[in-house]
Amino acid sequence: MAGSPLWPKAVLPNRWLSETNFYPDEDNYMPVPDPDAQGMDIREFAMEPGDAVAFNYMTLHGARGNTSQTRRRAFSLRLVGDDARYVERPGRTSPPFPGHGMLPGQRLREDWFPRLFDRAST
């Protein structure tokens, strides 16, 4: 959703299969809007196998239902900067990381979040 990272509150993340939310404190988040009904600026792209789309994690995103007879497949890759730190949040994360042992403020574990390249060598 164009402009959604600039909204005053983050959108309450929902599990799309069960329509339940991830976090217990709903007051800190706004409900998932209906972009079509609310006339929001939706950016859509025709995608072919091998195409990719990238966006900031704060961007409200989704996909319309698959109305074709062809199976839709997706690969999700989450990239973070080398300055990323662990932050404690209420509720489950997606994907879940049970038993990670990280404390708030620590760098993310490289054995769980490996480096793709090293700036010093580029």
List all residues 6 or more positions away from 6 whose beta carbon is below 8 Å from its beta carbon.
none
- The whole-number average pLDDT for the span 18-34 is 74
Break the chain into its structural domains and give their ranges.
1-61, 78-122
Residue % of the chain over a pLDDT of 90 = 10
List all residues 6 or more positions away from 23 whose beta carbon is below 8 Å from its beta carbon.
12, 13, 29, 89, 90, 91
* The length of the chain, given as a count of residues: 122
Specify the pLDDT at position 37: 92
For all residues of the chain together, what is the average pLDDT? 82
Specify the pLDDT at position 94: 67
Specify the pLDDT at position 74: 82
pTM over 0.75: no
In this predicted model, what pLDDT tens digit does every residue of 91-107 receive, in sequence order? Answer: 777 677 888 899 999 99
Tell me how far apart the alpha carbons of residues 90 and 13 are, in angstroms, rounded to a whole number: 12
